[in-house]
A and B are shown apart, each in its own frame.
Chain A
Amino acid sequence: MALEIYAYQCKKCGQLHYPYRMVCKKCGKNKHNEFDPVPLPKKGKLVTFTELYTLPGDFAVATLWLGIVQLENGVAVTGQLRLPKPKIGMNVIGQVEPVRKSEFGQNLGMVFYPAK
């Protein structure tokens, strides 16, 4: 089964949120964790990006490409990029992969590749 990361949809008004929050940002009526998890779509457009040269100590790479991607359903996420030539507005496709390893284990997150 493919790994998923979820957005959270308000059961009252349908607003999507990522990441999870306690109260709906649109209707404000959702007070009892009434959100449906909805898998994040994988296709999106690159909003902006950077190549980071000064990394936190637990990354064993020289630089890290990071970006914000607007997904098909309008939800935006931050993620790591594996794009040979990143450009604002380009189509990308994401997948869930390990993004950070530390002595306590590894974190899974969104990693984006060029859309074919």
Chain B
Amino acid sequence: MRTMLIAILMFLAGLSAPPAEAADPTGVTGRFILTDMNGRTVTDEMYRGKIRLVTFGYTFCPDICPTILNTLSVALDHLGADRAKVETMFISVDPERDSPAHLKEYLNAFPGIMGLTGTPDQVAAAARNFNVRYERSPAEDGDPKAYSMDHTAALFIMDREGNFLARMPHASAPDRVAERVRSYLQPRRGEN
């Protein structure tokens, strides 16, 4: 009942808001304060002026590893010179094991993708602001260090101001991702 009420309120809020602000039905604000893989504290504000491609995950996949970083790096290749206008971020939902140094080593295999991690609270806040859920799942054999992380498998495209533009599934083809990003790189009317 309460959920339904919230849904109705959200719907009404959407109706009354001006179209530009109502564009995001997912409630994704994209705000974060995290530490990048070089050890710097970073916020979403610092990427102003760039289209952002953001995904969440973790590096210690114990049984199968998503190919999303592969997809992103192929998409960046498709973008060619336009890739300079894009910041690509991989936010770890496993800050306990994904230290900045570890992320840096891991992301060597994916040039141009910035790894972000943080304190558990910072990561939780970032995930909340992207409407991403994650949950620790213990290893079957009880090894406390071999847990896996179930998480939302989505790819977010945010505009140059950090506002939500699109959400795509992990399984998207790289050329579709590049095409989508490129569509947002076109100067809009009234802009240079």
Chains A and B come from one and the same complex: no
